[in-house]
Amino acid sequence: MRKLLAALAAVAAVGGPAMASDLPAQSPEPVAPIYVPFSWTGFYAGVNAGYGWNGADKIKDPTYYDTEHEYVGTFANGWFSGQRNSKRGSFTGGAQFGYNQQFGQFVVGIEADFNYLGQKTKYLADDITDIYEPIGDQNYNYHLREYLTPESKTEWFGTIRPRFGFTPVDRLLVYATGGLAYGQVKSSGNYNWHEYGYWWGGGGNADFDRSGGFSGSKSQVRWGWTIGAGAEYAITDHNTIKAEYLYVDLGKKNHVVVNPEDPGEFMTWKDSSRAHIVRVGLNYKF
């Protein structure tokens, strides 16, 4: 009996490891990846492009004055027989940079941008006078053309704005923004006239063709405010795209252009510079 038990123990000692090696190896339990949500915190810079259209009133109260002859000329009082008042939008494009800080689902930041804009507001008052009639013992053929043309053009603008945003889902930021705006506005005014004709009889003939006028322009940086909203999406950990609307108001201004050869002759008008901006942008997050 003892010999049998010893034999069985020897077989178990030899066969145990061999049998264990024949069993299939067990794979380690898979480890689930740790998901890290996107963070908006950090500095960024980028470019933008879009369209701006004029949100301002058209040019108001264009008036011609000649104090020596006590002339005051407007379309309203009949001095000019025609008028055209127009506004024109333009392409806008520029660059921006800023910083965001995220707190949970809320994001606060500040952004500055600088952009081209070429929108215009233009006015034209004109008058056409043609006279064909005898005057005394002369026959008179007379023609006069007058033009009064003020214009305002916003050439560029910039803003400095805080942004207040919320992330409804990961990588998407919706925000409101508003703050300081500034921009360069060029205002110009022209008054031109051209008279020509001839007369005959009364012992002689004569013809004439003469013209004159004056003009002036001024460019200045105006300050105002802006407000808007947008949405931005992170397409990678460093690149984001955005769509944005801004309303920019650079205020109103009264203008005077004086004839340098005759200070008593001048023109005046009022303008304002306001813009609706719709644009898209691309940012790089550092």
Tokens standing for residue 181: 């705006």
What's the rounded Cα separation, in Å, for the pair 171 and 263? 63
**Which residue type, as a one-letter code, is found at position 159?**
T
Span 261-278, average pLDDT: 96
* Residue pLDDT, tens place only, 145-195: 999 999 999 999 999 999 999 999 999 999 999 999 999 999 999 999 999
CA-nearest of 282, 6, 274 to 117 is 274
* Residue pLDDT, tens place only, 77-96: 999 999 999 999 999 999 99
Residue 23 has pLDDT above 60, yes or no: no
Residue 223 has pLDDT above 50, yes or no: yes
**Which residue type, as a one-letter code, is found at position 278?**
V
Residue 9 has pLDDT above 60, yes or no: no
- pTM for the model: 0.83
- Among 67-81, 128-142, 224-238, the range scoring the smallest mean pLDDT is 128-142
Residue 245 has pLDDT above 50, yes or no: yes
Average pLDDT, the chain: 90
Span 39-62, average pLDDT: 95
Residue 239 has pLDDT above 80, yes or no: yes
Residue 230's Cα: distance from chain center in Å?
15
Tokens standing for residue 169: 């889902």
What's the rounded Cα separation, in Å, for the pair 148 and 159? 34
- Among 6-15, 83-92, 220-229, the range scoring the smallest mean pLDDT is 6-15
The torsion region of residue 261 among left (phi > 0), alpha (psi -120 to 50) and beta comes to alpha
pLDDT value for 14 = 46
Tokens standing for residue 17: 């490891």
- Among 109-113, 125-129, 199-203, 215-219, the range scoring the smallest mean pLDDT is 199-203
